[in-house]
Chain A
Amino acid sequence: MNRLKQHWPAVRAVFLTLVILHAIVYGIQTPVLSIQRLEHEYWQPLIGRVQGLTGDNEAESRARISRYSQQLANAKSYVTWPLAWLYGLLRAGQTWNMFDGAEQQSFQLYIDMRREGTDTWEVLYTAHDPTAAFEAERLEYRRVQACYIAFDAAAPGPYYPFTRWVAKRVFYTFEDADEVRVRMRRLDYRDRAVREARPERTLWAHGVRITRAQFERDMAALHD
């Protein structure tokens, strides 16, 4: 015990150094690339470079990359297991992607409502429109934003629960609301040539419509 006390500063220095090195290794991204995943055009330059280095054909290159990526991921998990449990316990990692994506296409949320006995839709909410600011403060809270801010073509995981919550808010607020529509407007800032060569099929995406009857049926089922 006395020896440990005597050497404690050195032990601590070694331990802290290992913690730092562990964090760096833990944070380095090692994607596991299956052969199917390597068929995406994104990986073509990598496959081409491996072919240039090894003389493999394309299929052999894919197999080689897939094998090496798996080995690398295994090696990382072996090296990082001593402290990986702590990160698991804290639900944290050491890979930090701050604004790493910068897509030229994004989405803008629109919430519309149709009143009973009418066919017209009223815009209740969209960004930067003071005339359509229904529940704006709540919708712009960071944990709610996580439900609908889309960085790419896909909707985030909680998007559909989010649309149902929006419908609930609308039906509770407007007694004559008959239907709610939540959808994302595509914003396309690609170059004109690219836009013309690969136009989007629709202006709107991820549209969900919920009627009051459907909502009331679901709420009744919840309390059955």
Chain B
Amino acid sequence: MTDHLDASGWRGRAARYVALWDEREPATALALLRIVMGCVLAYDLIYLVCLDLTLTIFDDVNAYNLGYSSELSVQPLVRELLGPGPLAIYVVVYGGIAAALLFAAGFMTRVSGVLVLVTQVQLAALYVDGNRGIDQLLRLAILLLVLSRSHETLSVDARLRHGQWARPSVLVPAWPRYMIIMQLVWLYTSAAISKEHYLWSSRGDYMALFYILRYQHFVRWDMTWLPAWVTQVGAFTTYWFEALAGLMIVACWRTRRDPACTKRSTRAWWVYKRAWITIGVGLHSTLLLLMNIGIFTTGMLAFYFCWISPAFLQRLPPGRLWSALRFVPPPASEGQTPA
């Protein structure tokens, strides 16, 4: 973590900005992101295998299956290397499961992370229609985690190199976590910009969710009994939660500048930050309960581990239960933990 820079003017601001991206923090938040995202991707493919859909989805359309990569002008790399048969599909699916599990376990983390990316990209190439937004989002996050030092704790690598599974006080560059925060904020901002349909606005009485919950194949149960006002509250909350995501950058900045919340405005931003995260977790948990939309909900909830700050890890209670996660700052940097 970096010393506070008191210089004023643009040089001071620039120095503070550079220092922000040069900060160090405990590796725990990045490690948790790695574990959860690896598990989400592994679960998705294990479920596919358990349903015996591997060949159905990725094999050739001429055999009454769903994949049509054989008709693409540019063949996926795996088909170029292993030919058009099922071997290529099995290698990508089972290799993808192994890579995701190894990445979650933190074994040869960067190599397994790259293998996760390669297998996921090949799956997207073999079945283009299955390449949904959440798949793309997770790939972008995995790339950042590959570039990070998430393997420094809660990993097999940490055990092999340092003799400890958990090293909660080891410091690593914080910028990958900041980039994941930026990705999440942009995701919601972009989603709000895309919601140009009048049903997502007061012009359409925020009736969007009312109709979305009538897509019978999205919902876990028939939801036509749900009163319209409940869906209107949901749509209003969803839209403004997304539209105001950009303010999280301001909230983070203000609470960093005044970690003790001495100013009333900082206290307001502190509340905003916690309320926004709570609403986000609440919205995605509600979707998980109500809708059958694959790994979208679990993948999005995995992203919320990016909000685990060093201050939070420092406040964990002492004792065996939290010892693997609890951050004890080194004496020199004590009291300078970013908010």
Contacts and interface: CB of A to CB of B under 8 A. Distances in A.
Task: Using C-beta atoms within 8 Å of the partner chain, give the interface range for chain A.
Answer: 35 or more
A158 B18 contact: no
Interface string A187-224: 10100000000000000000000000001001100100
Contact of A9 (B18, B61, B186, B216): B18
Contact of B127 (A98, A108, A143): A143
A92 B217 contact: no
Nearest to A218: B64
Nearest to B2: A9
Interface in B270-327: 292-296
B62 A222 contact: yes
B158 to A, nearest CB: 25
B112 to A, nearest CB: 17
B51 interface: yes
Contacts of A19: 179
A108 B200 CA distance: 23
A162 B66 contact: yes
Interface stretch (A61-69, A73-81, A164-172): A164-172
Contacts of A175: none
Given A90-B117, A99-B208, A102-B208, A10 B18 contact: yes
Interface of B: 17-22, 47-48, 51-53, 56-57, 61-66, 68, 117, 121, 124-125, 127, 129-133, 136-137, 139-140, 143, 175, 179, 182-183, 186-188, 190-191, 193-197, 199-200, 207-209, 211-212, 214-218, 221-222, 238, 242, 292-296
Contacts of A138: 51-53, 56
A16 B179 contact: yes
Contacts of A157: 129
A137 B21 CA distance: 46
A108 B222 CA distance: 12
B66 A144 contact: yes
Given A97-B191, A98-B133, A219 B217 contact: no
A146 B211 contact: no
A167 B18 contact: no
Given A100-B197, A109-B217, A161-B65, A91 B179 contact: no
B215 A143 contact: no
A137 B51 contact: yes
B66 A94 contact: no
Interface string A127-140: 11000000001101
